[in-house]
Structure formats: C-alpha cells, structure tokens
Homo-oligomer: A and B are copies of this chain.
Amino acid sequence: MTPLAALTEGASFITVPVPLGDRAYDILVGRGLIETAGTRIARLGARAAAIVTDEHVGPLYAGLLAGALEAQGLRTSVVTLPPGEATKSYASLERVCDAVLAAKIERGDLVVALGGGVIGDLAGFAAAVARRGVRFVQVPTTLLSQVDSSVGGKTGINSRHGKNLVGAFHQPSLVLADTALLDTLPVREMRAGYAEVAKYGLIDDERFFSWCEANWQGVFAGGPERDEAVAQSCRAKAAVVVRDEHENGDRALLNLGHTFGHALERITAYDSARLVHGEGVAIGLALAFRFSAALGLCPPSDAERVEAHLSAAGLPTRLAHVPGGCGTVDDLLDAMAQDKKVKGGALTFILARGIGQSFIAPGIEADKVRSFLDSELDPSRS
C-alpha cells in the first residue's frame, strides 16, 4: 500500500471499487467530494432523490446537497430525524418509508443517506423495503460510517431484543466519503471510528497495522493519511464482503472485537455518554488479543502491541475503562449469549494467532471465557 501523494481539495480522490456483480458500486474517498455530489449522483440516472439526514448533519450539509442535486435536475426532498441510536427504530423506519413514498420515489430513483451510521443503516433499510427496493447513495459524515457501515450493504434497525436484529442486505449504488467533513467531528467520534480502521490491520494485514502505528496522527489531523486510511479500510472491508456478501462465512472476521464490544454496549445500555460503539470495539479488540494470548494462540507481545497502539490513539482497552463499570462475569457472559452471531447455541469468537492473523473460532467453551474474564476483572490488573 503506497500512501497517496498530494490530494488537492475537490480535485483528486481515491476510487475503491466493490465488485459485487450486478450490485457492484464505487466508493469515492477524498476531500471536498460533497461539492461535486450533484453531478456524481446525477450520473446514476435517477429523476428524484429523497435525502435522509439527522438534526446535527442536516443543517450543515442537507441544503448544499439538495441544491447540488436540484441543479442537476433531480426532484429533491429532505427528511430529518433526531440524532442518536434511538432513531434506528420501527417508528423511524415507518417515517422514512412514508417520506420516500410521499416523495414519489420510484424504483429507478434514489434515497440518499447523509449522516453517520445510524442514518446510513436506517435510510439503507428504508431503501431496501420501500417498493421492495429502490437504489440508495451513502454520503457518510463520520469516520466510523466512512470505514464501516457504508461498506457492505448491511442495513437495519434495532429491536428490543438487540441491535441491528431487523434489517436487510442492500448494496448502495455509490458511496461518497468526503474526508473534509471529518474536520469538525468531535475527537471522541474520530477515535471511535479509528478503532475500526485499526481493526482492518489486525484482521489480516499486519503491514496496514504497522502503517497505522506510524501514521495515525495524520489520520486524525486530516492529511493525506486520512484519505489513505479510509480508502484502505474500505478496500479491506470490500474484499471480505465480496468473498461473503451475506455473512455465511468469512465476513464474520469483520466482527473481530465485536463479541466483547457488543456485550459492553449492551451492559452500558447503549448509553453513548458511557460508551460508544467504537470504544466498545477498541476494548473488544484488546480483549480478543489478550484472550487469544491466554489461550496460547497468540504471542503476548502482539496483544501488548495492540493495546499500546489503541491507547496511544486515546482509546479504552480494558474492562475497567468502562465508565460506571461493566458488571460481573455473569453479566458479560449473558450479554454475549444474546449476540446474534450465535449458531446452535455455541459462542463464536474471532480470535488471532497474531496481528493480521485472525480467524473464526466457533464453539468456544464458556468456562474458558469465564476464567479469562475473571482475570480481566481482577482489580490487580486494571
């Protein structure tokens, strides 16, 4: 992977193709892309676009985007939802579908998701089911959504039984990841997204993880390293998704750090004041490597290297870092058992033999998880 040379604002960008046959699409990554969104989206040949956004992002960019689309002759409407995870609800799904149908979006037209992961997941799901499927475009506005939720076609809402338990696989027609939009992102959100960036190195690309160790400050600062990190993350995720679009096999590797991470999110009641997804993933990544080391699968030095890098980037890496605590071992085990990556009742983990050497480990025995978590909760370690 060669770091990109000079990126001029709006003039240059990286294209990451996602070759999914008749569902193939491009992810464009670069600074200032939103300013050219009108012509790029108009090339898809739609007559109308329903923009879905939230109350944080909408006031900043929805007018700009709508104007750019209208200048290209697209009939445009905007539906604005409250920000936050609670928006991934049945009620919001109904609201967005109704708005899409009221805007007379036909099968060749577009839903445009302008926002972070919540908006992308919700708008994508609405696009998947309105008229049994209309096309959609993602304009992700957070680092997390640029490197994760906007790639791969997973859409959905939350259920009272858990996150993302109701949804569809629906690939976008185009993703515009404007990295300049991240300049105003709170640093906590940058860090949370960065946990997913680092994850791609940890899964199967030790070179990218080393690059991250050397270049992470540039990613945060908004230099060309940011574009390269976003593009490389999208390439990595796209490669996995192309191998396994519907998560019957390899795609589970993308859940490295997520079995623990989701459990922590559940225990903290999805209260973003305590823990956001990326922070849960950071702790989960560190735990997955320490668990792998504890099982004798992975050198302890690799687990230490993972923790050191995530800590350097300002991310939490230990159960004790969860504000308000994370309950008992039983609480954690219960929360993990509710994860949807359960098959035949056995817990599946993503473990690693080293940095860049992760693998799917089904049927991990509960007593091994328990004794590992006991040691992690031991106050002498935290």
Chain A positions near chain B (C-beta within 8 angstroms): 47, 90, 93-94, 97-98, 101-102, 106-108, 125, 128-133, 154, 156, 159-162, 165-169, 246-247, 340, 342-344
Q: Which of B93, B94, B168 contacts A168 (CB 8 A)?
A: B168
Contacts A129-B166, A165-B101, A169-B133: A342 and B160 contacting too (C-beta < 8 A)?
Answer: no
Contacts of A166 in B (CB 8 A): 97, 101, 129-132
Copies in the complex: 2
A340's partner among B108, B131, B156, B342 (CB-CB below 8 A) is B131
- What are the nearest 9 A-B pairs in CB distance? A101-B161, A90-B94, A132-B167, A129-B166, A97-B166, A101-B165, A101-B159, A131-B340, A129-B168
From B90, B101, B169, A90 is in contact (CB under 8 Å) with B90
With known contacts A133-B169, A168-B128, A169-B133, A102–B156 Cβ distance under 8 A:
no
The answer to whether A160 and B98 touch (CB under 8 A), given A90-B90, A90-B93, A93-B90, is: yes
Chain B residue with Cβ nearest A156: B132
List, in ascending order, chain B residues with CB within 8 A of A90's CB.
90, 93-94
User: How many angstroms between the C-alpha atoms of A246 and B170 in the bound complex?
Assistant: 14
* 27 intermolecular pairs with C-beta atoms under 8 Å apart: A47-B344, A90-B90, A90-B93, A97-B165, A98-B159, A101-B159, A101-B162, A101-B166, A106-B342, A106-B343, A106-B344, A107-B343, A129-B156, A129-B166, A129-B167, A129-B168, A130-B166, A131-B165, A131-B340, A132-B156, A132-B166, A132-B168, A132-B169, A132-B247, A133-B168, A133-B169, A168-B168
Closest-CB distance, A2 to chain B (whole angstroms): 36
